[in-house]
Amino acid sequence: MIKLEGITKSFGDLQVLKGIDLEISKGEVVSIVGPSGAGKTTLLQIMGTLDKPDAGTINMNGQEINRMKDRDLAVFRNKHIGFVFQFHQLLPEFTALENVMIPAFIAGTSTKEATKRAKEILNFMGLTERSSHKPNELSGGEKQRVAVARALINNPSVILADEPSGSLDTHNKDELHQLFFDLRDKFEQTFVIVTHDEGLAKITDRTIHMIDGQII
């Protein structure tokens, strides 16, 4: 589903990625671990087309995405890649349901269809009762689950998550991690997760260790 070959990236004199080759299959839950500064976030951003490599190729679903024009890339990204960050990044003026629907609107889905799908996902996550609440009326764990629901709405090829449970307590952390596996089991959803959480890394299908811009 995702194939990276020879990815390099420098910021000024600092080479942050030194030739990354990586393949990820549909339905895999993969964790990326390593010390701070190893290049994990940069790799995730490049995989998510939020940043461009200096060299190398990125294939997703058979399409070479680093050759796409910026406008096509934005459409591709919204449709095929879901993002979850450490802090939920929900829009405060919208309800949970509306937040989940936003990427569907951007993709041109009808209101009726987007509402139906958002309700289904929130229901799957046990958040139906919370769907008309705004982010400041939700707990930290609920906000992160709504952020995962938003990442899922367009049925993406992959969800890229950067420290998704980094701001959660143990109980909410465990619940969020379980949700990733439930989504994989139900929808064959693929996840690539940058994490410092050893408990999560232990239970993912594969753990990629990065040090100093390389996969070891």
Which two three-digit tokens encode residue 5? Answer: 């070959």
Instruction: Please say which residue, 42 or 66, places its beta carbon nearer to ligand ADP.
Output: 42
* 46 touches 160 (CB < 8 A): no
Q: How far is the CB of 95 from ligand ADP (least distance, A)?
A: 32
Which two three-digit tokens encode residue 151? Answer: 């990442």
Burial class (CB in 10 A: 0-12, 13-18, 19+), 93: exposed
Instruction: Please say which residue, 75 or 211, places its beta carbon nearer to ligand ADP.
Output: 211
Tally of residues, the chain: 216
Instruction: Please say which residue, 142 or 163, places its beta carbon nearer to ligand ADP.
Output: 163
215 binds ligand ADP (CB under 6 A): no
Count of residues that bind ligand ADP according to CB under 6 A: 10
Measure the CA–CA gap between 118 and 146, rounded to whole angstroms: 10
In the list 2, 7, 16, 208, the residue contacting ligand ADP (rule: CB under 6 A) is 16
| DSSP 3-state percent helix, strand, coil across the chain (nearest 5) | 40, 25, 30
Q: How far is the CB of 39 from ligand ADP (least distance, A)?
A: 4
Instruction: Please say which residue, 10 or 115, places its beta carbon nearer to ligand ADP.
Output: 10
Q: How far is CA 80 from the centre of its chain?
A: 10
Q: How far is the CB of 179 from ligand ADP (least distance, A)?
A: 23
Rounded to whole angstroms, what are the CA distances from 190 to 28, 60, 151?
5, 12, 12
192 binds ligand ADP (CB under 6 A): no
Q: How far is the CB of 38 from ligand ADP (least distance, A)?
A: 4
Instruction: Please say which residue, 85 or 181, places its beta carbon nearer to ligand ADP.
Output: 85
User: Mask 18-47, x = binds ligand ADP (CB under 6 A)?
Assistant: ----------------x-xxxxxxx-----
Instruction: Please say which residue, 13 or 70, places its beta carbon nearer to ligand ADP.
Output: 13
Measure the CA–CA gap between 119 and 177, rounded to whole angstroms: 21
Report the largest interatomic distance among the alpha carbons of the chain, rounded to a whole angstrom.
Answer: 51
Residues that bind ligand ADP (CB under 6 A): 11, 16, 34, 36-42
